[in-house]
Amino acid sequence: MTTRTRFAPSPTGLLHIGSVRTALFNYLYAKHNGGKFILRIEDTDKARSRIELEDAILEDLEWLGINPDEGPSKDGRFSPYRQSERNSIYLDHAGKLLGSGKAYHCYCTKDRLKELTNEQKRAGKPPRYDGKCKSVKNLDLPHVLRLDVNLCGLSEITFEDKVKGKITFLSKDIGDFILLDTDSLPSYNFAAAIDDPLMGITDVIRGEDHISNTPRQIMIQRALGLKVPDYAHLPLVLGEDKKILSKRDDSFSIKSLRDEGYLPSAIINATARLGWAPGDEYISIMKLIDIFSLSRISSSPSSFNRDTLKRYNKDAISGADNAYLAALIKNDFPDTDAEKLELAIAAVKSNCGLIESIKILVSNLIGGNVRTEEAKTVLEDADSRMVNREFMKAIEASTSLGSDNWKEIAKDVSVKSGKKGRSLYGPIRAALTGSTSGIELLEVINFLGRDEVLKRIKEHLGENSGA
RNA sequence: GUCCCCAUCGUCUAGUCUGGCCAAGGACACCGCCCUUUCACGGCGGCGACGGGGGUUCAAAUCCCCCUGGGGACGCCA
């Protein structure tokens, strides 16, 4: 049987690290087993679902390279892939349940339910529907559909979780829950329980906040004679504050991470390590697919950490194409031609953990009059002007400047200025790049060339010349 | 309240299933040194953890029980 997994977000928020981890593991598991990865949109909540958010999710997944084999934008034979378009299917199954007496209409008002819950809590009892409407029939009143848990014929539900191991729930601990709401729209549990088997899903891999939903879904599937898929529940992903990542926490959304200059493969590498330990090295997606295994997933929660992300971003940037990186930053350098920009990127990229640092280092090379405060301080020093003056003379005395004679020239300047080390190179670096840090000076000089170096030194010496 | 899940360095974790190779290994972060007449990169090293208590055993991070702590679910959200 072909492995089929699914990622089933609801379009009520942006994709964040936690949901990406779920998507990634589903993808990895499917691909590892030569199967298919399906995207299903769970938009049964009309009030909160937004099509723009669905689009954003699709876009983020595509950007990350987690591409579904089937989904709203890639049709397969199990379409439609939006739950809002599958209502007749749910109604159909609801009818079967009602017909067989395994589900019943409930006419209780929300107020009564709320009161019931409060009462039970006050009495120290678990909040559960009391089954009042079980015996009531065919009233012409608004109603919901509830599953009669007792009539499902299961006193306990046990499933072998592929991550957590054997988990057992007692059906007496589960109240008759809602299948269809007043508007005849399916509840999450009902829709998911039906869609998974109908879409041929073999393995449901999701967050562990769904563990307690699992027995409900299994009950529905059993009651309907549908195939029960295998389940695997992933430990939750926490933020740096140890709190669960929430959809409201935008700082972990893919969009903001992307805006901050993290590359897709870095995000993939960092999220892959949330509950899984494929080693410390930066790993390609192909390799990840190759070595993925659910049995290696940890069962304790993990928290997402930016340092790790940054670490992988450094690898991702060093390994990225110059042209690819150039495309990301070209808007910041409108006056620079593409070739030169790529050259500059090639010179700096191995030093950068963030796209932002590429921008800074590239702009140091390409020029403009940007100077950091530290650089200004260095340049204001009288000795530093002297060093640069000697540097200028040395260059003028030579016809070339580059790898061949850089050492000699530096030595010469050192002797004439009486400076060495930091006080020798600091002023030159500051005059040339406007910064006190950056790539190796020789590389700066090689990139700029003799004429440009001379020009920048002269510009600097010309500044404040009256001082 | 009831049910379910979880517990190793600051963080991500390896090790737990199948007890001994673990006086607990790696990575990130941090600190130091080396390389470099500068800035980085890099290299080397340091810091640093089995939540607590019982048990089983010749032997426990690993198995069992209790406690504590964290989280999740119990919704006409998903």
3-class DSSP string for A153-207: CCCEEEEEECCCEEEEEEHHHCCCCEEECCCCCECHHHHHHHHHHHCCCCEEEEE
Q: How far apart are CA A5 and CA A418, in angstroms?
A: 70
Lowest-confidence region among A122-131, A239-248, A455-464 = A239-248
Does any strand B atom come closer than 7 Å to the Cβ of A87? Answer: no
Distance A350 CA to B65 C1' (A): 55
Q: pLDDT (tens digit, 9 = 90+) per residue, A276-298?
A: 988 888 888 999 999 998 888 98
Does any strand B atom come closer than 7 Å to the Cβ of A208? Answer: yes
Q: Measure Cα distances from A310 to A91, A239, A265, A389 in Å.
A: 48, 15, 11, 40
Does any strand B atom come closer than 7 Å to the Cβ of A273? Answer: yes
Distance A297 CA to B63 C1' (A): 21
Angle (nearest 5°) at CA A38 between A48 and A87 = 50
Does any strand B atom come closer than 7 Å to the Cβ of A209? Answer: yes
Does any strand B atom come closer than 7 Å to the Cβ of A276? Answer: yes
Point out the residue nearest to B38 (C-alpha to C1'): A425
Does any strand B atom come closer than 7 Å to the Cβ of A200? Answer: no
Asked if residues A205 and A294 have their Cβ atoms less than 8 Å apart, the reply is yes
With CA atoms as reference, report the closest residue to A333 among A350, A348, A318: A348
Does any strand B atom come closer than 7 Å to the Cβ of A243? Answer: yes
Give nearest nucleotide to A437 (CA–C1').
B39
Q: pLDDT (tens digit, 9 = 90+) per residue, A336-364?
A: 888 888 888 888 888 888 888 888 888 88
**A window 247-266: Cβ near strand B (< 7 A):** none
Band (pLDDT 50/70/90 cuts) for residue A464 is: low
- pLDDT of A172 higher than 90: no
Distance A165 CA to B59 C1' (A): 28
What single-letter DSSP state applies at residue A118?
H
Strand B nucleotides in reach of protein CB atoms, 7 A cut-off:
1-8, 10-16, 26-29, 37-41, 70-78
Band (pLDDT 50/70/90 cuts) for residue A69 is: very high
Distance A245 CA to B34 C1' (A): 42
pTM score, whole prediction? 0.90
SS3 call for A5: strand
State residue A463's pLDDT score: 65
Lowest-confidence region among A214-223, A266-275, A426-435 = A426-435
